[in-house]
A and B are shown apart, each in its own frame.
Chain A
Amino acid sequence: MNTITIARKELSSYFRSPIAYGVMCFFALITGFFFFSAVQFFLRQSLQATMMGQSVPLSVNEWVVRNVLSNMSVVGLFIIPMITMRLFAEEKRTGTIELLVTSPLRDSEIILGKWLAAFILYLAILGTSVLNMLVLFAYGNPDWRPMAVGYLGLILQGGCLLAIGTFISATTRNQIVAGVATFGVCLLLWVLDWVSQFDSTPLFTVISYLSVTSHFESFMRGVLDTKDAVYYLSMIVFGLFMTSRAMESIRWRA
């Protein structure tokens, strides 16, 4: 109940400032562009394939949906710090954190509420891209199942990065620092996967396992792999747990 109260308060402050609308616009614009270019490319490829006498039509899922979804996950890297940076940093700067901490609330309720609000905003932002997909359904006949799995992947990946961003926001009272650090960490988690190309020693395997990208691939292919879902879920739990540690330290050092 308290969690929901906190989440509602956070959401209403998101939508009262231009942040939410700005981020949403930015995301819709950019995914729209990705969608447009993917469709253009797909049309050219199809035309060529038909002229070459290929009888089986190219898959929309493979050529458009997968492309757009994986581009969206990159855009997510940029929007997630914008969503999470103010969560705790702002409350620490203005002193309202004192109100929350001296109220009969559990730390977990505060943290979950804030993360939930960020998550809902993220879902709303992702939601703007569904319009593009509807266009596909209107003019073509894509398979909805891999598309849904792809979206699930985006949602899980977002939840995990949001949890990390929430933690980072709780460690500073400066929003900008929180935003930049979150972006840095997200980017790092993104590129960690590259090491798997060099070698397959246990160390490199572990490092690449930690990368968000390596777990994202299966979702993009439309495969729901428990192993990857578990990775994201445990990252969410880990991020929120770290946030609770950071809140404890606000208490001891304040």
Chain B
Amino acid sequence: MIKVQGLTKRYARNVAVDHLSFEVEKGQIVGFLGPNGAGKTTTMRMLTCFMPPTEGTAEVAGFDVRENPMEVKRRIGYLPETPPVYPEMEVIEYLNFVGKIKGVSSANLKSRIDEVMQKTAIADVRNKEIGKLSKGYRQRVGLAQAIVHNPDVLILDEPTSGLDPHQIIETRDLIKGLAGDHTIILSTHILPEVEATCQRVMIINKGKLVATDTMENLSSRLHGAETVAVEVLSRDGTSSPEWVRSVHEKLEKVAGVSRVIAKDSRDSRARFTVESLKDSHVRPELARVVIESGWQLNELHGMGLSLEEIFLELTASKADLSEPAPQATAEEA
């Protein structure tokens, strides 16, 4: 459904997207994961024909973004990071306007709008001014706008940014519900977001594709090694440096632990971050050691990998993918 080859966007001084190539099958939900400034938005803007690529080609539903932008635009629904709504318009009026400019025939317009409002659960605010809606509602109006012309491809730029946890879950469910009819690309810088919604993930950093894989493969690859936070309480209610050191040593001796980092110690508690080797389950052992030494275990929980760690992890394990990097930097210089 989407075919991207060597897509590049170069600005006067920097390269935002650097020879990106990927394909997305029909009906898939693909997550576009990367830190801020990785080139996610730029890539999406090129796919939606908002801006032309400097180099390379992108095809949406068989149409090239440069040669046939009108056909591409007809088949794409796009939700930018801030929903492109006119605050002074009423919801129904806005959807009417968008439907018309997206080319929905006037015979179908009313039924399409009703359907879309149902899907995104905004029918109850149909006559309200968009500017007076809550952020969650505004986001849903943005989604409704993106699907009003029933596009083959849906491109969502950080669809959950700025929403509260409740709204985030709602939006994710909504997106999952849309998956059957549309091919969806969504971007995010939050890992759990991809885990919750996507079947495939593409990780990009500094404009380059770092990894692309199915969600299952990626999770198993990432969760092999884990980082655990441990908080220990001392018996006597103080936390002398000697005691902290002894805890540190005890934790380090646990089988499978690769590194222990002392965080802070206050009152009678000391906190550590314990990194373990791949495929070793250190948590029960850590708990046992602490209890048997006569201390109290206050907290023990696994910490997710941060995005930076994922990049390190992936780039380290996939040397072949990071290979072209030095060449490109030389070009830039």
Binding site for B on A (CB under 8 A): 2, 5-6, 9, 12-13, 16-17, 94-105, 251-252, 254
CB distance from A252 to the nearest CB of B (A): 7
Residues of A within 8 A of B51 (CB): 251-252, 254
Interface readout for B30-58 with A: 1 if CB under 8 Å, 0 if not? 00000000000000010011111000000
> In whole angstroms, how far apart are the Cα atoms of A119 and B97 in the complex?
21
> In whole angstroms, how far apart are the Cα atoms of A96 and B93 in the complex?
15
Residues of B within 8 A of A99 (CB): 78, 80, 84, 98, 145
> In whole angstroms, how far apart are the Cα atoms of A102 and B98 in the complex?
11
The residue on B at minimum CB distance from A8 is: B97
- A13 pairs with B86, CB closer than 8 A: yes
> In whole angstroms, how far apart are the Cα atoms of A94 and B102 in the complex?
20
Residues of B within 8 A of A2 (CB): 100-101
> In whole angstroms, how far apart are the Cα atoms of A16 and B98 in the complex?
18
* Given A95-B84, A98-B45, A98-B78, 18 other A-B residues pairs in contact with their CB atoms under 8 A: A2-B100, A6-B101, A9-B86, A9-B89, A12-B89, A12-B93, A13-B88, A17-B88, A94-B86, A94-B87, A95-B81, A96-B86, A102-B76, A102-B78, A103-B102, A104-B73, A251-B50, A251-B51
- B101 pairs with A101, CB closer than 8 A: no
State which size class the interface on B falls in.
20 to 34
> In whole angstroms, how far apart are the Cα atoms of A16 and B78 in the complex?
27
> In whole angstroms, how far apart are the Cα atoms of A100 and B145 in the complex?
12
> In whole angstroms, how far apart are the Cα atoms of A100 and B86 in the complex?
12
CB distance from B81 to the nearest CB of A (A): 8
User: Can you list 24 A-B pairs, Cβ within 8 angstroms, ordered by A?
Assistant: A2-B100, A2-B101, A5-B100, A9-B86, A9-B97, A13-B88, A17-B88, A94-B84, A94-B86, A96-B84, A98-B50, A98-B84, A99-B145, A101-B49, A101-B50, A102-B78, A103-B98, A103-B101, A104-B73, A104-B101, A104-B103, A105-B101, A251-B52, A254-B50
CB distance from B243 to the nearest CB of A (A): 56
- B97 pairs with A5, CB closer than 8 A: yes
- B49 pairs with A102, CB closer than 8 A: yes
> In whole angstroms, how far apart are the Cα atoms of A248 and B50 in the complex?
10
B70 interface residue (CB < 8 Å to A) = yes
B85 interface residue (CB < 8 Å to A) = yes
> In whole angstroms, how far apart are the Cα atoms of A102 and B85 in the complex?
14
Residues of B within 8 A of A252 (CB): 51-52
Do A5 and B52 contact each other (CB < 8 Å), given the known contacts A95-B80, A104-B73? no
Q: Contact check: which of B52, B70, B81, B86 meets A104 at CB < 8 Å?
A: B70
> In whole angstroms, how far apart are the Cα atoms of A95 and B78 in the complex?
13
> In whole angstroms, how far apart are the Cα atoms of A98 and B45 in the complex?
9
Interface readout for B221-232 with A: 1 if CB under 8 Å, 0 if not? 000000000000
